Amino acid sequence: MRFMMLMIPKGYEKADPGTMPDAKAVAAMMKYNEELQKAGVLLSLDGLQPLSMGARVSFASGKPQVTDGPFIETKEALGGYWMIKVDSKQEAIEWALRCPASSNEVIEIRQVHEFSDFPADVQQAAAKFPELKELHRS
């Protein structure tokens, strides 16, 4: 089973461009990342730039509309993620509990849909795009 562990640092929604964590926090996080890798559960990971560097594309009006960040109405911002492959949600939770996160950070854990989770008709429609199925890693 694949899970995304989503890092949500409180206050990051208002962070200025170029905001970076301190070296001590990065060193602790890199050690944690190495533990994930050595255990063979880490598929990918990345940190994200602040919302002030992003954009949103909204489809609410039927026509795409672009809004540059920061987004005033945002209460939380994703700061980064890990994609892991483990045997259960409980195992994903156990990995999240080991993270050297600070008191202002939250990790949300979400299971990723596998190709086999979808009904037969959806799988048949997707089968027309085999190169994309490979990206799905199911």
Beta-carbon contacts of residue 96 (< 8 Å; ≥ 6 apart):
5, 107, 109
- Using one digit for the tens of pLDDT, what is the confidence trace for 23-49? 999 999 999 999 999 999 999 999 999
Tell me which residue range forms the domain holding 7: 2-136
- Using one digit for the tens of pLDDT, what is the confidence trace for 45-96? 999 998 888 898 999 989 999 988 877 777 888 999 999 999 999 999 999 9
Domain total for the chain? 1
Structure pTM?
0.84
Which CATH number covers residue 32?
Answer: 3.30.70.1060
